[in-house]
Amino acid sequence: MSDIDSKVFVLAGIVMKRLLSGEQTTGQFCLFENRSDGNTRTPIHVHAKDDETLYIIEGELTAVLEGQPRRLTAGESIFLPRGIPHQLMNMSGNPGRYILIGSPALFDRFVEEGGHELQPDEVVGPTAPEEMERLREASPRFGITLLPDWPSPSSHA
């Protein structure tokens, strides 16, 4: 794999190594290995055009779907279907690593636009306001809606 294929990005405080891009999979999916330092939380959001599948390699991650938390540990996986509000967090204080598959491939281009490429010697910390603004601006172009809070259950009926 060439350097261009395995770029490393930072999005919402998560280090995301792109293992396969949509270009490499003819748009079928994209594949990332993600690292959280143990103090990360994505915004509550919903994807309109793609699904996510996660597999925990080490540590733990809490996936919150429609306001319901599910704690995942090494060896566990979860499917996050499009149209369902969700949030991913690792507030354990311990590092975690997980695989993320976006299907069809769309999320990889969002990560490029909404995040930034990891710089040599960069120490990744909490999301800075300008990073959050870039994420907010890129989201609608990829069918992602950021939500201020969990929708009431009746809004999905």
CATH number of the domain within which 14 lies: 2.60.120.10
120 located within any domain = yes
Q: Where residue 157 falls among pLDDT bands split at 50, 70, 90? A: very low
94 located within any domain = yes
151 located within any domain = no
77 located within any domain = yes
3 located within any domain = no
142 located within any domain = yes
Residue 103 CA to residue 83 CA, distance in Å, equals: 13
The closest of 50, 45, 49 to 65, measured between CA atoms, is 45
Give the angle 73-79-80 at the CA atoms, nearest 5°: 110
Residue 87 CA to residue 23 CA, distance in Å, equals: 27
Number of domains in the chain: 1
Asked if residues 83 and 48 have their Cβ atoms less than 8 Å apart, the reply is yes
156 located within any domain = no
Mean pLDDT of the chain: 93
80 located within any domain = yes
pTM attached to this predicted model: 0.91
Q: Where residue 127 falls among pLDDT bands split at 50, 70, 90? A: confident
Domain of 42 in residue numbering reads as 8-146
Give the angle 12-16-17 at the CA atoms, nearest 5°: 165
pLDDT in tens, 79-105: 999 999 999 999 999 999 999 999 999
Report cis status (omega within 30 of 0) of the bond before 95.
no
**Is pLDDT of 3 > 50?**
no
Q: 5-30 as b/e, with b when 16 or more CB fall inside 10 Å?
A: eeebbbbbbbbbebbbbbebbeeebb
